């Protein structure tokens, strides 16, 4: 097995979590795909700088974060969410903790999120489903649910906060177990 | 999943909610100070939900093939020469990833949290570490009331041996050894005239008997450091060159509100950036009415395996 084959295994293992990291920062899905490719290409080119004592996931997310910051101007506000070092550091920390959930793949780890979603109820669940599963915008959700635009925003924010708390409990629970 | 205290949803300021641009048509130009942790939480779940609902096996495979083709094209265009360290690096990375070995350090860091995590890991090893320990107690007016030097050997799981001379003003208690094997706490004077032992749960009695000089909680260095990220704000405040040119990080831990140990005020760590080995640790505790206690741990080294017995010697 040569280095390229080994790198392929690493890519297969980490590409989904790095993609989720980019999707949390980039509004535009195409831009996220472009940066995902670039992130792993850069990782390949500078692999000799990688400290083998450290896990690969945080290292490659660090490359993604640097690329996002470097490309902010080029990407433009319509393709990007607000980001700075502090937000990216918090995000990296969250993804790192998420990676400690049990499961062989990122998709296995997403089962924790699926479990948390199944506990969500009421307008928060409706708003989350309509936005993320059906791809509706806030205004469309507002019309569908017969509530105001600001109320939809709050339901989405509260739904996400509830999911975040649920994931934290799962991570802490698994850590304790 | 950030280190910040979770704020109740009802307390989230309106301007933070406005700064959440996951629902806007363009990125916010700036965000309120202090909102980054909450925004990142929202973003994190936002990213996971987007990933969950756009997961597509064939798109994933196409993505991978695109990338691998790009890599192959680069390899073909610019074959490398000379030693290929990256082969070993990639193999090690694969091994680490497979084994799930924990550590964090993206290239834009180190953060203090990451460094302290490495310290915790280093201290969690099943080895006996020897420290020189200097204990001082200072009154509110700055007058030093106590100063003791001890020799400490410790390993995780409340295992320690402390040797030193105790004195309180004019009262001399002489040489003592205090030990704990994780279950039982014991103390013995050097001449053997005084010896006591008790279950660790009753340690307060023994401490009072010795004039409450040491909080034994501090002697389990691993447990002490492990608590720091939970209760303290961590900051890398500098670095210096250690033995063999290794970079040592200076980390300051200052108290956040709501900690579990109300008396422990601050801590200061000097640790190897790469391995997490602590070479110096200082903790400062407030004891009320402006008085304070300070304990400084200076690493002497690692003891040979199997040479330290923490059980009571009688």
Name the average pLDDT for chain A: 88
Task: Among A78, A99, A120, give the residue marking a domain's end.
Answer: A99
**In whole angstroms, what is the distance from residue A114 CA to residue B45 CA?**
12
Question: Does one domain contain both A161 and A79?
Answer: no
* Mean pLDDT of all residues in A154-176: 89
**Residues A130 and A173 reside in one and the same domain:** yes
Q: What DSSP string runs through B73-140? A: HHHHHS---S--HHHHHHHHHHHHHHHT------TT---HHHHHHHHHHHHTSS--EEEEEEEEEE-T
* Pair (A167, A115) in one structural domain: yes
With beta carbons under 8 A apart, name residues in chain A contacting B46: 23-24, 160
Q: Which of A15-29, A92-106, B195-209, B266-280 has the lowest mean pLDDT?
A: B195-209
Indicate the Cα dihedral angle B47, B52, B58, B59, nearest 10°.
Answer: -20
Whether A126 contacts chain B with CB within 8 A: no
In angstroms, the separation between the Cα of residue B89 and the nearest Cα of chain A is: 5
Chain B residue with CA closest to A107: the answer is B52
Residues of chain B contacting A105 with CB distance shorter than 8 Å: none
Q: Residue A39's domain is classified under what CATH number?
A: 1.10.1740.10
Do A20 and A67 lie in a common domain?
yes
CB contacts, 8 Å: A110 with chain B = 48, 51-52, 55
Q: Quick check: A77 contacting B, CB < 8 Å?
A: yes
- A94 and A115, same structural domain? no
Nearest residue, CB atoms, A53 vs list B60, B68, B274 = B274
For chain A, give the percent of residues with pLDDT over 70. 97
> Which pLDDT value is given to residue B89?
38
A11 contacts B51? CB cut-off 8 A: no
> Which of A56, A98, A100 is nearest residue B93 as measured by Cβ atoms?
A56
Same domain, A9 and A94: yes
- ipTM, 2 decimals? 0.95
A171 interfaces chain B, CB cutoff of 8 Å = yes
Looking at the structure, do residues A169 and A118 belong to the same domain, yes or no? yes
What is the model's pLDDT at position A63?
92
Task: Tell me which residue in B42, B63, B87 faces A157 most closely, judged by beta carbons.
Answer: B42
Q: Which of A38, A68, A99 is the last residue of a domain?
A: A99
C-alpha B241/C-alpha B272 separation (Å) is 9
Here the tokens at position B234 are 């961590």
Element (H, E) at A174: helix A149-176
Q: For residue A44, what are the contacts with CB-CB under 8 A and spacing of at least 6?
A: A7, B71, B74
Residues 6+ apart with CB under 8 A from B163: B150, B151, B175, B176, B177
Q: Give the total number of structural domains in chain A.
A: 2
Residues A85-95: what's their mean pLDDT?
A: 91
Q: Is the pLDDT of residue A76 over 70?
A: yes
Contact A126, A155 (CB under 8 A): yes
Of the residues A65, A99, A133, which one is the last residue of a structural domain? A99
Separation of alpha carbons B162 and B98, rounded Å: 40
Q: How far is B181 from chain A (nearest CA, A)?
A: 24
Angle formed by the axes of helices B57-77 and A3-23, to 10°?
A: 130
Same domain, A3 and A88: yes
Phi and psi, residue B312, nearest 5°? -65, 140
Contact between A45 and A21 under an 8 Å Cβ cutoff? The reply is: no
Query: B224-254 pLDDT, tens per residue?
Result: 777 777 777 788 888 887 777 778 888 888 7
Pair A52, A119 in one domain: no
Q: Distance between CA B177 and CA A151 in Å, rounded?
A: 66
Please give the residue range of the domain that contains residue A176: 104-177
Please report the pLDDT score of residue A125 as a whole number. 95
Q: Out of A2, A9, A77, whose CB is closest to B26?
A: A77
- CATH code for the domain of A131: 1.10.10.10
Nearest CB among B44, B55, B67 relative to A24 is that of B44
Q: Does residue A114 surpass a pLDDT of 90?
A: yes
Are A56 and A118 part of one and the same domain? no
Say whether both A124 and A54 belong to one domain: no
A148 and A92 both lie in a single domain: no
Which chain A residue has its CA at the smallest distance from B46's CA? A24
Chain B residues in contact with A169 by the CB 8 A cut-off are none
Question: Does the distance separating the beta carbons of A45 and B84 come in below 8 Å?
Answer: no
Q: Which of A3, A25, A56 sits opposite B84 (nearest CB)?
A: A3
C-alpha span between B223 and B32 (Å, rounded):
36
Residue range A74-90: average pLDDT?
Answer: 82
Q: Do A85 and B92 touch (CB under 8 A)?
A: no
Instruction: Using 50 as the pLDDT threshold, list the residues of chain B that sit under it.
Output: 2-4, 79-110, 168-171, 211-213, 258-262
B73 touches chain A (CB under 8 A): no
Check CB contact under 8 Å for B27 and A27.
Answer: yes
Q: What is the pLDDT of residue B300?
A: 85
Q: Which of B6, B36, B63 sits opposite A165 (nearest CB)?
A: B6
Predicted pLDDT at B115? 77
State the best of B21, B45, B86, B229 to mutate against chain A, taking most chain A CBs within 10 Å: B45
* Model pLDDT, residue A24: 94
Interface test with A, best of B11, B18, B49, B70 (most A CBs within 10 A): B49
State the pTM of this model: 0.53
B:253-312 residues touching chain A, CB 8 A cutoff: 274
A55 and B30 within 8 Å at the Cβ level: the answer is no
């Amino acid at each position: 097995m040569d280095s390229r084959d080994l790198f392929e295994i690493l890519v297969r293992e980490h590409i989904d979590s790095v993609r989720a990291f980019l999707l949390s920062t980039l509004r535009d899905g195409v831009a996220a795909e472009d940066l995902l490719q670039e992130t792993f290409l850069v990782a390949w080119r500078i692999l000799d700088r990688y400290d083998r004592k450290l896990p690969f996931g945080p290292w490659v997310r660090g490359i993604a974060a640097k690329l996002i910051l470097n490309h902010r101007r080029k990407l433009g506000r319509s393709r990007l969410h607000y980001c700075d070092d502090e937000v990216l550091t918090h995000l990296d920390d969250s993804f790192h903790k998420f990676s400690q959930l049990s499961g062989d793949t990122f998709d296995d780890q997403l089962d924790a999120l699926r479990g948390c979603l199944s506990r969500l109820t009421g307008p928060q669940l409706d708003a989350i489903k309509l936005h993320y599963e059906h791809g509706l915008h806030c205004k469309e959700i507002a019309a569908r649910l017969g509530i105001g635009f600001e109320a939809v925003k709050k339901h989405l924010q509260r739904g996400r906060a509830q999911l975040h708390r649920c994931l934290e409990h799962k991570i802490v629970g698994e850590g304790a177990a | 999943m950030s280190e910040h205290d979770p704020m109740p949803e009802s307390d989230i300021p309106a301007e933070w909610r406005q700064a959440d641009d996951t629902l806007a048509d363009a990125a916010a130009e700036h965000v309120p100070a202090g909102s980054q942790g909450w925004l990142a939480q929202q973003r994190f779940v936002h990213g996971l939900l987007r990933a969950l609902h756009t997961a597509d096996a064939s798109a994933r495979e196409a993505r991978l093939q695109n990338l691998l083709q790009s890599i192959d094209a680069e390899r073909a265009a610019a074959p490398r020469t000379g030693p290929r360290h990256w082969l070993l690096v990639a193999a090690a990375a694969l091994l680490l990833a497979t084994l799930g070995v924990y550590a964090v350090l993206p290239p834009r860091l180190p953060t203090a949290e990451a460094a302290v995590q490495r310290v915790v890991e280093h201290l969690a090893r099943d080895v006996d570490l020897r420290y020189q320990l200097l204990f001082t107690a200072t009154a509110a007016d700055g007058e030093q009331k106590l100063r003791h030097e001890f020799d400490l050997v410790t390993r995780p799981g409340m295992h320690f041996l402390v040797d030193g001379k105790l004195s309180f003003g004019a009262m001399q208690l002489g040489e003592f050894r205090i030990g704990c094997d994780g279950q039982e706490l014991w103390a013995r004077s050097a001449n053997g005239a005084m010896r006591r032992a008790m279950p660790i749960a009753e340690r307060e009695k023994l401490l009072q008997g010795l004039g409450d000089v040491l909080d034994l909680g501090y002697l389990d260095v691993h447990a002490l450091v492990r608590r720091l990220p939970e209760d303290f704000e961590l900051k890398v405040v500098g670095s210096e060159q250690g033995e063999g040119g290794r970079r040592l990080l200076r980390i300051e831990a200052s108290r956040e509100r709501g900690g579990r140990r109300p008396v422990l005020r601050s801590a200061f760590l000097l640790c190897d950036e790469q391995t997490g080995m602590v070479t110096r640790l200082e903790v400062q505790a407030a004891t009320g009415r402006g008085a304070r206690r300070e304990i400084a741990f200076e690493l002497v080294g690692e003891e040979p395996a199997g040479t330290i017995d923490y059980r009571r010697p009688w």
